[in-house]
Amino acid sequence: MKKYKVGYTQGVYDMFHIGHLRLLNRAKERCETLIVGVNADALVEAYKHKTPVISEADRQEIVSNIKAVDKCIIATTLDKTKIWEDVHFDAIFIGDDWKGNARWARTEEELRPLGAEVVYLPHTPGISSTELRDEKGDRIGEA
């Protein structure tokens, strides 16, 4: 198993669950330093057309306190080459349910000249924040 110096992964992490934890732990096993991007509320609203149940500040605090996470940032873009410019990761980790997806195939091509690899990790079946989401859309952690 190849070990990377700096790994990166990104997600919404809304209603943090066991699938999130397993992905972060598996990613940390593969790198010395794991940086995690928590998608900003505005970013999630732009591409998913819904507001996260848990605020970005609370999601960042939750993810920051996971033992496997060395640094947690708020991500304002899905463009991994732009994120690479700030983070300079060697590997980006994503669930293997995205393998073969056109967007991730493009990401592989875009990151290759930068010396970064896309690493697909086992996805935890049968769990997602979307399935856990309260249909009323009430947010948690709002003052």
Q: What is the CATH number of the domain that holds 45?
A: 3.40.50.620
Residue 51 counted as domain residue = yes
pLDDT, residue 2, reads 85
The residues, ordered by sequence, that sit 6+ positions from 40 with a Cβ below 8 Å of its Cβ are: 56, 74, 75, 76
The range of the structural domain enclosing residue 111 comes to 31-71+80-143
Q: Is residue 24 part of a domain?
A: no
pLDDT at 134 over 50: no
pTM (two decimals): 0.87
pLDDT more than 90, % of the chain: 83
pLDDT in tens, 74-96: 999 999 999 999 999 999 999 99
Q: How many domains does the chain have?
A: 1
∠ CA(102), CA(39), CA(9), 5° rounding?
60
Q: Is position 120 within any domain?
A: yes
| Residue 16 belongs to a domain | no
The closest alpha carbon to 14, from 142, 107, 114, 139, belongs to 139
Residue 92 phi/psi, 5° resolution? -115, 130
15 belongs to a structural domain: no
Q: Calculate helix-pair angle for 102-111, 80-87, nearest 10 degrees.
A: 40
Q: Is residue 22 part of a domain?
A: no
pLDDT, tens digit, 9 for 90 and up, residues 33-68: 999 999 999 999 999 999 999 999 999 999 999 999
39 strand-pairing partners? 75
